[in-house]
């Protein structure tokens, strides 16, 4: 009986190890792929992995350097922790992405408001509405530091899905700026809340310029409505 339990435990451990390796390998392939061949969602994850990898590399080099220069072999444990954290984080994020627990939202920044509070830091409130007004995505982010979001610029946010469906600072994973990308590439890469690309949800048109104008008009209308709601809320306060 105990032998069967041991066998089952070994199988589960082996399957878990294979899953971790598979997810980590997927993340490494993402880092090794040229951005021109990636979607916006993949570019966002690639940027996140690269930043975390830089931190992990710094930890590893610091541990090895301390071991050599200061004759402290125990510092190699710090390097080992850095490697394990890097593998674990990428595997975890790839698992979230593969299981559909990440939500990618292409949005436009519609405004910034600085709220001065007594005895604490100023709070910056950033308002965002979806690039595609049809899906109705909109949210605000409150930060104690100015992040540099520009009104009218497009961004791609990544959130971890929550049971209550909230999009806030706690569930935000990362973001990148979409403004400046080629429009065709942007439509191919930006993924809506339902998991479909904007280009898939837009009917083909012979006049691309007209389609872009209509989209921008819709964004301006949504931004204006959001601004009115925001101002009304300030008035009530």
Q: What is the pLDDT of residues 4-13, one digit of tens each?
A: 666 766 777 7
* Residues 120, 54 within the same domain: no
* Residues 133, 229 within the same domain: yes
- The kind and range of the H/E element at 208 are helix 208-236
Helix (H), strand (E) counts: the chain: 6, 5
Residue 113: Cβ within 10 Å count: 15
Average pLDDT over residues 81-106: 93
Average pLDDT over residues 221-231: 46
Q: pLDDT at position 118, please?
A: 56
Average pLDDT over residues 106-110: 90
* Residues 55, 115 within the same domain: no
Which residues on neighbouring strands pair with residue 189, listed in sequence order? none
Using N-to-C axis directions, what is the helix angle for 2-32 and 40-69, rounded to 10°? 110
* Residues 123, 228 within the same domain: yes
Question: Residue 74 carries which DSSP code?
Answer: G
Global pTM reads: 0.70
* Residues 112, 222 within the same domain: yes
Average pLDDT over residues 168-189: 68
Q: pLDDT at position 150, please?
A: 84
9 burial class (0-12, 13-18, 19+ CB within 10 angstroms)?
exposed
* Phi, psi of 80, rounded to the nearest 5 degrees: -65, -40
Q: Which of 156, 159, 162 lies closest to 176, judged by CA?
A: 156
CB 59 within 8 A of CB 67: no
* Residues 59, 125 within the same domain: no
3-state secondary structure of 143: strand
CB 56 within 8 A of CB 83: yes
Structure confidence by residue, pLDDT tens digits, 137-161: 788 888 777 677 888 889 999 999 8
* Residues 194, 221 within the same domain: yes
Instruction: Decide which of 106 and 212 is more confident.
Output: 106
Q: Which of 236, 235, 224 lies closest to 129, judged by CA?
A: 224
The domain boundary, picked from 79, 98, 117, lies at: 98
* Phi, psi of 212, rounded to the nearest 5 degrees: -65, -40
3-state secondary structure of 160: strand
Pairing verdict, β 123-130 and 102-115? antiparallel
pLDDT over 80 at 73, yes or no:
yes
Residue 138's domain spans which residues?
102-236
- Of the listed ranges 39-53, 57-71, 192-206, the least confidently predicted one is 192-206
* Residues 94, 148 within the same domain: no
The domain boundary, picked from 69, 98, 127, lies at: 98
* Residues 108, 94 within the same domain: no
Structure tokens at 147: 């992040």
Helices (H), the chain: 2-32, 40-69, 76-98, 183-189, 198-201, 208-236
* Residues 85, 118 within the same domain: no
The domain boundary, picked from 98, 119, 139, lies at: 98
Domains of the chain: total:
2
* Residues 90, 106 within the same domain: no
Q: pLDDT at position 55, please?
A: 95
Question: Residue 203 carries which DSSP code?
Answer: P
* Residues 57, 12 within the same domain: yes
118 burial class (0-12, 13-18, 19+ CB within 10 angstroms)?
exposed
């Amino acid at each position: 009986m105990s032998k069967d339990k041991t066998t089952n435990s070994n199988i589960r451990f082996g399957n878990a190890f294979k899953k971790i390796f598979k997810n980590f390998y997927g993340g490494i392939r993402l880092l090794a792929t040229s951005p021109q061949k990636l979607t916006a969602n993949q570019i966002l994850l690639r940027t996140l992995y690269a930043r975390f990898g830089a931190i992990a590399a710094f930890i590893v080099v610091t541990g090895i350097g301390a071991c050599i220069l200061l004759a402290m072999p125990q510092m190699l444990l710090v390097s080992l922790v850095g490697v394990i954290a890097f593998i674990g984080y990428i595997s975890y994020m790839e698992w979230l992405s593969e299981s559909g627990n990440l939500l990618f939202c292409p949005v436009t920044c519609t405004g910034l408001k600085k709220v001065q509070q007594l005895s604490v830091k100023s709070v910056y409130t950033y308002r965002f509405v979806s690039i595609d007004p049809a899906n109705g995505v909109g949210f605000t982010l409150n930060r104690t530091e100015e992040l540099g979001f520009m009104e009218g610029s497009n961004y791609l946010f990544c959130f971890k899905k929550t049971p209550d469906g909230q999009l806030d600072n706690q569930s935000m994973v990362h973001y990148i700026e979409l403004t400046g990308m080629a429009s065709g590439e942007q439509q191919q890469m930006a993924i809506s809340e339902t998991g479909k690309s904007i280009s898939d949800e837009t009917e083909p048109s012979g006049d691309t310029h007209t389609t872009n104008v209509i989209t921008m008009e819709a964004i301006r209308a949504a931004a204006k409505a959001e601004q009115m709601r925001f101002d009304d809320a300030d008035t009530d306060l």
